[in-house]
Amino acid sequence: MTCGLSHNLCVVFKKRGIHVNKKAEQSYSVQDMIKKNKQKKNIGNYFEKGIPYFLLLCAIISVITTIGILFTLLRESITFFSNVSLVDFYLGSEWSPWTDRFGVAPLIIGTLLITAIAICVALPIGLAASIYLSEYASDRTRKIIKPILEILAGIPTVVYGFFALTFVSPLLGSVFTDMKIFNALSAGIVVGIMIIPMIASLSEDAMSAVPKSLREGALGLGATRFEVAMKVVLPAALSGIIASVVLAISRAIGETMIVTIAAGATPNMTFDPRQSIQTLTAFIVQGATGDTSYQSNIYLSIYAVGFTLFIFTLLMNILSQYISRRFKEDY
Amino acid sequence: MTTNTLSKHVFSIEDFNLWYGNDQAIHQINMEIPRNEITAVIGPSGCGKSTLLKTLNRMIETIPSVHTSGSIKYNNQEIFAKKQLVEELRTHVGMVFQKPNPFPKSIYENVAYGPKIHGIKKKKVLDEIVEKSLRGAAIWDEVKDRLNQNAYGLSGGQQQRICIARCLAIEPDVILMDEPTSALDPISTLKIEELIKELKNDYTIVIVTHNMQQAARISDKTAFMLNGELVEFSDTDQLFSNPKDKRTEDYITGRFG
């Protein structure tokens, strides 16, 4: 090696893309070479300065979209509420838009019914699965089960919808009497199955984040693994778990395809899960795909219902943020 | 477990070996740990001293790849016996860890945790246990007015004494301490050392430490371990003033480690 620098140094430089000129050996110091390479990169300087603006632009796009959606919702809703009074809309108990009755309560109750059934299914199963995964499963088991669980989250909701209608509903029909083919129960159960992975996966993350030293502290006192899970890990991970549940609830509230396919299209003011019902989201699908004329009351009511739905999910998001701050156990 | 058959030695370790997967961490250890004395285990990092300590209450089993051979008897009962419940062993053999690890709960709840999981529910009894344990850990005066505050608001040294109080609350027989002062400043260390010396009257203490001076200051017996072997185990005075093994001498005079 004719390089003026030591052999080892030359090798290092070559690996890093610094070229040592053999003929001009000894006339360059490392600092000189760095300086030279920097001059070549002058254009890079502008690039470096431009990057934050580009990233900011991307961030702003989502903010602007949110504001845009809210604006559209509000504008059309306000037009709707100039035709139908707010009081009639929120306190009326009959939803029959084709006969000009716009009491949204049946739709809200339908949505709440589906959500309640879904949470009753998803909370115990999801939480139990997360406790198993974080506290009992070996690394190998966890590596197999968790991805499968997450595949469940990737199944298109329309597939879930057909599953509810063609499998769960007939199955329940053979157990319960008076079960309608389109009913709240089967749709609710399947929405619950859909949100299990969300609760299980996020709760598992929260529980796995609890330091090992806390578990050891409890085990060292003679606690069983179940006592450690229930009395140390669960309370310490509570904020994350609640946040996952609230997130799952807002997912259930907003769920559209399953309820459209399997819950029916009958705005019923009922808490009987065997009945056919309609949710806020399912009505929006019905209204948006039907032959409703532009600017008619039915057309505008889609926006009012959408706005109501937006308020629901917004409240849930605020609630989840409040809860995760309120119940935070610092460790 | 019957604790009325009190032997002179709390633990009798015979031909004990331990592997992490295929790596043997402990080789053929034989030692007897005396009752109501402080036994220190010293040695360089990775010599297996913490592993040995964690074996005594089977905490080592939280690592799945561990397997063992040989025998360890606690009060003449084999701790690896099938009928030995690990939770029961741990209620008799408590542990204080290297880093203070209070639960993210109030000071009161931390100390009351052990008695509660073992079924003691009466508020009055718990109150008494908490006070007694906190006094025992020499921290009562510092925290008596803020028992309902989160233990994380305390200093590191105070947290460690809360952990000791938490351990005392179930009145164990033995307390294992895994470098309990290595994360603490000198003044907190001094307080903990004084506390350990006081605890000796009621408890058997096994302490692992990196700090040879600490072992010399507080322990009655000292074991020196190297590469998973027990090199020398004798009275602390003798081990430090007149070591029998060349390797012990090299280590305590600071030639390595």
Is residue B206 domain-resident?
yes
Residue A218: which of A234, A205, A231 has the closest Cα? A231
Same domain for A98 and A67 = no
Task: Say if A2 falls within a structural domain.
Answer: no
C-beta atoms of A219 and B59 within 8 A: yes
Q: Best mutation site among A221, A227, A232, A238 for testing chain B: the one with the most B CBs within 10 Å?
A: A221
Tell me which chain B residues have a C-beta less than 8 angstroms from the C-beta of A330: 104, 150, 152
The string of pLDDT tens digits covering residues B119-159 is 999 999 999 999 999 998 989 999 999 999 999 999 999 99
Residues of chain A positioned with their CB less than 8 A from the CB of B57: 220
Inside any domain, residue A122: yes
Residues A91 and A153 in one domain: yes
Of A30, A53, A81, which residue constitutes the final position of a domain? A81
Using DSSP's 3-state secondary structure scheme, residue B69 falls into: strand
User: How far does the CA of residue A208 sit from the closest CA of chain B (Å)?
Assistant: 15
Query: Which pLDDT band, with edges at 50, 70 and 90, does B1 fall under?
Result: very low
Give the pLDDT of residue A17: 59
How many domains is chain B partitioned into structurally? 1
Which residues make Cβ contacts (< 8 Å) with residue B190, sequence separation at least 6?
none
CB A267 within 8 A of CB A105: no
Radius of gyration in angstroms for the set of CA atoms belonging to chain B, rounded to a whole number: 18
Percentage of chain A beyond pLDDT 70 is 89
| pLDDT value at residue B188 | 86
Interval A240-260 mean pLDDT:
91
- Alpha-carbon distance of A101 to A89, in angstroms, equals 9
**What is the C-alpha to C-alpha distance for residues A259 and B37, in angstroms, rounded to an integer?**
70
Residues in chain B within 8 Å Cβ distance of A227: 117
**Per-residue model confidence as pLDDT tens digits over A21-45:** 555 555 678 888 888 877 776 666 7
Asked, for residue B2, whether it belongs to a domain, the answer is: no
Question: Is A10's pLDDT higher than 60?
Answer: no
Check the CA dihedral B97-B115-B200-B53 and report its sign.
negative
Q: Is A15 exposed, middle or buried (0-12, 13-18, 19+ CB in 10 A)?
A: exposed
Written as one letter, the residue type at B145 is D
Average pLDDT score over residue span B201-225: 93
Residues A222 and A179 in one domain: yes
Query: Measuring CA to CA, which residue among B211, B144, B133, B138 is closest to residue B177?
Result: B211
Q: Give the confidence band of B111 by pLDDT, cuts at 50, 70, 90.
A: very high
Strand partners, B9: B34
One-letter amino acid at B49 equals: K
Are the Cβ atoms of B101 and A219 closer than 8 angstroms? no
CB atoms B101 and A236 under 8 Å: no
Which 3 state secondary structure label does DSSP give B80? coil
Domain span at residue B215 reads 9-253
**In this model, does residue A75 exceed pLDDT 90?**
yes
Residue B251, SS3 per DSSP: helix
Q: Based on the domain organization, do A237 and A137 belong to the same domain?
A: yes
Q: What is the pLDDT of residue A323?
A: 79
pLDDT confidence band for B3 (50 / 70 / 90): very low
Give the largest CA-CA distance in chain B.
Answer: 57
In A, minimum Cα distance to B163 occurs at A217
pLDDT at A304 over 60: yes
Of A30-34, A62-66, A248-252, B34-38, where does mean pLDDT reach its minimum? A30-34
Are the C-beta atoms of residues B48 and B65 closer than 8 Å to each other?
no
Confirm if B102 and B184 have CB atoms less than 8 A apart.
Answer: no
Find out whether A84 and A249 touch, Cβ atoms under 8 Å.
no
B77 token code pair: 């009962």
Question: B80 CB near a chain A CB, below 8 Å?
Answer: no
Residues in chain B: 257
Give the pLDDT of residue A330. Answer: 62
Tens digits of per-residue pLDDT, A159-200? Answer: 999 999 999 999 998 888 888 889 999 999 999 999 999 999
Which residue among A33, A52, A81 closes a domain? A81
Our count of domains for chain A comes to: 2
Using the structure block, give the residue that is written with the tokens 């209450």.
B57
Q: How many CB pairs under 8 A join A and B?
A: 71
B148 in any annotated domain: yes
Comparing CA positions, the residue from B163, B126, B10, B148 lying closest to residue B77 is B10
Could you read off the pLDDT of A101-152 as tens digits, one per residue?
A: 889 999 999 999 999 999 999 999 999 999 999 999 988 999 999 899 888 8
Residue A148 and residue A54 in one domain? no
For range A280-296, the mean pLDDT = 85
Q: Give the domain range for residue A44.
A: 7-81
Task: Using the predicted structure, report yes or no on whether residue B91 has a pLDDT greater than 80.
Answer: yes
Cβ contacts of B149 on chain A, cutoff 8 Å: none
Q: Is-contact A311 A104, C-beta < 8 A?
A: no
Minimal CA separation from B104 to chain A, in Å: 6
Residues 6+ apart with CB under 8 A from A167: none
A273 lies in some domain: yes
Q: Which residue of A has its CA nearest to B153?
A: A330
Is residue A221 very low, low, confident or very high in pLDDT (cuts 50, 70, 90)?
very high
Assigned domain for A1 exists: no
Identify the CA nearest to B207 among candidates B36, B72, B56, B41: B41
Q: Give the residue, A331 or B59, on which the prediction is more confident.
A: B59
B161 part of contact set with chain A, CB < 8 Å? no
Check whether residue A149 and residue A27 sit in a common domain. Answer: no
CATH label of the domain that carries residue B175: 3.40.50.300
Structure tokens at A229: 């899970």
Q: Is A258 inside any structural domain?
A: yes
Q: Are B151 and B107 within 8 A, CB to CB?
A: yes
Average pLDDT, whole number, for chain A?
86
Helix residue ranges per DSSP H, chain A:
7-15, 30-40, 42-83, 86-91, 105-131, 139-154, 157-163, 169-173, 184-208, 212-219, 225-228, 234-236, 238-254, 257-262, 280-289, 297-326
Q: Is residue A127 part of a domain?
A: yes
Q: Does the CB of B90 have a partner CB in chain A at under 8 Å?
A: yes
CA distance linking residue A323 with residue A240, whole number of Å:
9
Confidence of residue A2 (pLDDT cuts 50, 70, 90): very low
In the listed set A81, A100, A124, which residue is the last one of a domain according to the structure? A81
Query: Same structural domain for residues A187 and A245?
Result: yes
pLDDT at site A151: 87
How many CB atoms lie under 10 A from the CB of residue A91? 11
Banded pLDDT at A1 (limits 50, 70, 90): very low
DSSP-derived pairing of the beta strands B23-34 and B9-20? antiparallel
Contact of A217 with chain B, judged by CB distance below 8 Å, is answered with yes
Q: What is the pTM of this model?
A: 0.79
Whether residue B93 is contained in a domain is answered as yes
Cβ distance B62 to B86 under 8 Å?
no
Largest CA distance in chain A: 95
Same domain, A109 and A258: yes
The residue ranking higher by pLDDT, A141 or B183, is A141
DSSP state letter for B18:
E
Give the ipTM of the model, two decimals please. Answer: 0.86
Nearest CA in chain B to A135: B62
Cα separation, B149 vs B167, whole angstroms: 19
CA distance B249 to chain A (A): 35
